[in-house]
Amino acid sequence: MKSDKGPYSRPRWGVTRWLADAGPGAPEDIRAALIADLHGSLPVFAAGAVNTMAVAGVIAIRQPTALFIAWLILEVAICLARLSVLVVAHRRARGRRRTPTDLHVLLAVAWSASVGFGVAVSLASGDRVVALLACLSAAAMVGGICFRNFSAPRLAGTMILLALGPIVPGAALAGEPLLYLVFLQVPLYLAAMTDAAFRLNRMLIATMRAERENGHMAHHDALTELWNRAGIVDALNRKLEASSRDDGSFAVLFFDLDNFKPINDTFGHAAGDKVLQLVADRLRRALPNSAVIARMGGDEFVVLADSITAEQALAIGHRIIDEVAMSYRLGEEICVQVGVSVGVAMSPEHGTEAEELLSAADTALYEAKSTGKSRCCLASFEINLAALQRLQHSSAAKAAGMAA
């Protein structure tokens, strides 16, 4: 759950961490994605910046006083600074470098305070056209503030307060009794919009949680919590794409359990499922954290090991055999034992596509099982040829039997 442009840094300063916090209970990966959402896109930012600078400019032309000219200068300076920080953040995120998130958050707060300042001085000026234009612009910005920043509801609430809150003192300075109605309207509006930001934030986090869980279920085996076939194929494709750029090599180890079927037949499928779970636990402990482990279905497993030689891959295969072949206690009086046969394929020697590598490793696995089980076999041209000959012999035998 990262931005398409790359990861954005979490805020480091106390005040910005508080403002950008997503709320309690949000997992770390979702928090990182929400920080990326705060940066939005340049077109969305440009629309708001152009609006507020245009309003400040028009008002400064109509009322060229020191306050309105100061507001225009402040508005232009803040918008240009925000634009610069946003461009730098996007570039650094694409390069996976630290982004100026703290400055981005503080400038967002400063911009909303500038909008609020313009509202206050416009109302206090007594010019109804100026006051109407400034207030309409600020009210319009609230929708954008909520939309762009509800991934950080505290920031959204603070920006709404700074943009619209000054309407109250501005109305008091205007001396128009009818405007005193805003003393009631503005607090209610602020409360409603801030509550909306928090509600949208909770809905967004719930949606992101559901997406994460669905993605996990789609790529993981429900029984063992290892990757499933779809997950390992995706991992293989990503690794193949990366290795095509850096000429890296990796190994695919395909293995299944010897003597697993009698456990299901004798003790039931629940016992078989327990063995599969225990095998998965042993694989996690025995293999390095960088290894990708998957259950293909039934008692078949695949391991993707990165940046190793064929000799090292065979050593991993023998380690798998040693770890998995130990006995398993399923109850007070039930102890079972399984063996493992392993086939190894290397990229790019044995394939440049996911299915090619899996097929080569599976063929090597078949060779290991056919020559005595509990063995580790490296894919080769000779093994593929022998497998093809056995397949042809089997097909010929079946055909002869049907003819007889």
Does 298 lie in the same domain as 172?
no
Looking at the domain assignment, is residue 84 inside a domain?
yes
Residue 223 forms part of a structural domain:
no
Final residue before a domain boundary, out of 160, 192, 218:
218
Let me know if residue 370 belongs to a domain: yes
Write down the pLDDT at residue 383: 55
Determine the Cα–Cα distance for residues 11 and 18; give it in Å rounded to an integer.
9
| Residue 7, domain member (yes or no) | no
Domain co-membership, 212 together with 251? no
179 and 252 share a domain?
no
Domain that holds residue 40: 14-218
CATH number at residue 391: 3.30.70.270
Kindly report, residue by residue over 260-293, the tens digit of the pLDDT.
Answer: 999 988 989 999 999 999 999 999 999 988 899 9
Which pLDDT tens digit goes with each residue over 356-389?
999 999 999 988 888 877 889 999 865 554 544 4
What local confidence, expressed as pLDDT, does residue 332 receive? 75
Is 28 within the bounds of a domain? Answer: yes
pLDDT of residue 236: 93
Residues 146 and 276 in one domain: no
Note whether 234 and 208 are same-domain residues: no
Q: What is the DSSP string of 304-372?
A: EEES--HHHHHHHHHHHHHHHTS-EE-SSS-EE--EEEEEEEEETTT-SSHHHHHHHHHHHHHHHHHTT
Please provide residue 285's backbone torsions phi and psi, each rounded to the nearest 5 degrees.
-75, -35
Which of 218, 245, 260 is a domain's end point? 218
Into how many domains does the chain fold? 2
Domain boundary among 190, 218, 246: 218
pLDDT (0 to 100) of residue 175: 83
- Whether residue 350 lies inside any domain: the answer is yes
Same domain, residue pair 128 and 263: no
- Assess whether 239 and 186 both reside in one domain: no
Residues 244, 382 share a domain: yes
Cβ–Cβ < 8 Å for 174, 131: yes
CA distance 397 to 402: 9
- The predicted structure's pLDDT at residue 358: 93
208 and 240 inside one domain: no
Task: Please name the residues in contact with 152: beta carbons below 8 A apart, sequence gap of 6 or more.
Answer: 19, 20, 21, 22, 34, 38, 105, 201
Low-confidence stretches of the chain (pLDDT < 70) are 1-6, 246-247, 381-404
Whether residue 181 is found in the same domain as residue 236: no
- Decide if 4 is inside a domain: no
Give a yes or no: residue 6 inside a domain.
no
pLDDT at 384: 54
C-beta pairs of 57-64 under 8 Å, 24+ apart in sequence: 58/133, 59/118, 59/122, 59/130, 59/133, 59/134, 62/127, 62/129, 62/130, 63/125, 63/127, 63/130
